[in-house]
Amino acid sequence: MAHALQILPQEKKFGIVTTGKVWEGLLTDGVHRFLGGGERFAGVQSTGLTAGELHSVPEQELKQRMEHATEKLLENRDVGVVCLGCAGLVGLEGVVRGVADRLGVEIKVVDGVVAGVVAAGGLIRCQY
């Protein structure tokens, strides 16, 4: 999430799309504790699925739920960065980008798994 703030245009906010409804409150509280405030935070929207259900629901249902959560997050048009709030959402960046394109909202997407792999690769190259 700290990375989201570094790539975020000044007038924009960042938000999170995640899995289950329980994570909306937990992630919101975590962002407020971690950042000490939430003026650049647009909130959390969930698919309503547990991490386990991500792999058992039909692909079309998962896509529809991701689209709906992303639409809700982007509805105010003030979000510039969307963070995928679950490792199980890896690979769904295209769904988020598709919604943003359809709505005419320019965003960046932070996939925590991809960001973690890139960071780990950098540490390995630096012989950390």
Q: Encode pLDDT of 11-45 as tens digits.
A: 789 999 999 999 999 999 999 998 877 788 999 99
CATH code for position 48: 3.40.50.12500
Q: Encode pLDDT of 72-101 as tens digits.
A: 999 988 999 999 998 889 889 999 999 999
Query: For the chain, what is the domain count?
Result: 1
Task: Give the Cα separation of 24 and 19 in Å (integer).
Answer: 9
Range of the domain at 85: 2-125
- Give the predicted TM-score (pTM) of the model: 0.87
Radius of gyration of the chain (CA): 15
